[in-house]
């Protein structure tokens, strides 16, 4: 069997910066309250008319990843697109990316695993490459949260957390043993599905329009999150799935050169860092700048860490995520 490696990465975030003070103008909140509970200082939001969408942001990130990988769009044999905020209820964003990049008829696969979406997508791509079916796979995580959030005091516990953006990676076949993606580990626990959920339609049908047409108090089109319950489960599952990956590869916590956790809440990352006794140079966080970008969070952070020189050839990189579903997963990579 072959192995797969990440040959190129890219990210894209909208230009529009929304600070905590900006949100305080819309709802009963303040900068100190948000930072204390989430660690977030600002996030990026799409603006109407800026030509950004879930799919188009994914394409912008993908073009950077393709250039860095040194391959043409025509070399892409499979697109895996992870998001919880597709432009349409159907079809999925994968085929939109295929059309926007003008790739002839390569298959496009959509992954709906929310905060764990990129790791699930990475795992799918890894399996296709390992079996020899495909040589180059484009994996994208992209989110347009801002179009479906409640920017009133009623929705502040959720709306202050999320931002928009996209990240992408090119996975390519490698014959170098002991390098690339060493293993991936995926889990789910559907009995907690409604603890972090959104029952309404996609962001293509804007929430303000829905409210205007059908006003109600208990609005199913806004996200619901049982914050404390999610936090308690997240710290447990993060720890478990990181250790699962390390044990599979006969590694110790001390072997981790860079841990990139899903950027859900800075407090979760800090809890894991403290539990594993990792230094600040061994954990990468950027939630302060972008908020929680769900499926885009890990590829954006991975791209930035590499751009900043914090990931070098030969490093052991661990990715870990937990989110709605509940779903969680990890990937262990020898860079």
> Which among 45, 145, 185, 262 is annotated as catalytic?
262
In the residue annotation, 262 being an active-site residue is answered as: yes
Distance CA 20, CA 43 (A): 8
In the residue annotation, 115 being an active-site residue is answered as: yes
CA 40 remoteness from chain centre:
16
Q: Tell me phi and psi for residue 6, to 5 degrees.
A: -85, 115
Please give the radius of gyration of the chain, using alpha carbons only, rounded to the nearest integer. 19
Strand ranges inside 230-304, DSSP E: 258-261
Distance CA 81, CA 121 (A): 7
> Which among 20, 113, 115, 136 is annotated as catalytic?
115
Distance CA 79, CA 107 (A): 6
DSSP H or E stretch at residue 273: helix 266-276
Distance CA 324, CA 178 (A): 32
**Active-site residue numbers?**
115, 262, 292
């Amino acid at each position: 069997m072959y192995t797969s490696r990440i040959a190129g990465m890219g990210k894209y975030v909208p230009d529009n910066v929304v600070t905590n003070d900006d949100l305080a103008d819309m709802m009963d909140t303040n900068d100190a309250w948000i930072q204390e509970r989430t660690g977030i200082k600002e996030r990026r939001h799409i603006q109407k008319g800026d030509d950004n969408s879930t799919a188009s942001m994914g394409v912008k990130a993908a073009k950077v990843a393709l250039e860095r990988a040194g391959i043409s769009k025509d070399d892409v044999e499979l697109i895996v697109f992870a998001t919880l905020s597709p432009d349409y209820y159907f079809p999925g964003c994968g085929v939109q990316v295929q059309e926007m990049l003008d790739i002839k008829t390569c298959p496009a696969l959509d992954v709906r695993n929310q905060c764990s979406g990129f790791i699930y997508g990475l795992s799918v791509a890894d399996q296709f490459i390992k079996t020899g079916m495909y040589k180059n796979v484009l994996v994208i995580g992209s989110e347009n949260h801002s179009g479906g959030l409640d920017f009133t005091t009623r929705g502040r516990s959720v709306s202050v957390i999320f931002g928009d953006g996209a990240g992408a990676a090119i996975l390519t076949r490698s014959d170098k043993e002991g390098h690339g993606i060493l293993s991936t580990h995926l889990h789910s626990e559907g009995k907690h599905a409604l603890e972090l959920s959104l029952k309404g339609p996609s962001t293509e049908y804007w929430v303000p329009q829905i409210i205007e047409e059908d006003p109600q108090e208990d609005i199913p089109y806004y996200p619901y999150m049982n914050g404390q319950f999610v936090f308690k489960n997240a710290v447990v599952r993060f720890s478990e799935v990181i250790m699962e990956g390390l044990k599979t590869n006969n590694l110790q916590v001390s072997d981790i050169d860079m841990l990139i956790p899903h950027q859900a809440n800075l407090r979760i990352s800090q809890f894991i860092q403290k539990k594993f006794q990792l230094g600040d140079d061994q954990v990468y966080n950027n939630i302060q700048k972008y908020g929680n970008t769900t499926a885009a969070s890990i590829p954006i952070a991975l791209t930035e860490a590499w751009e900043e020189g914090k990931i070098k050839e030969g490093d052991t990189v661990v990715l870990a995520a937990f989110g709605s579903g509940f779903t969680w997963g990890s990937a262990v990579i020898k860079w």
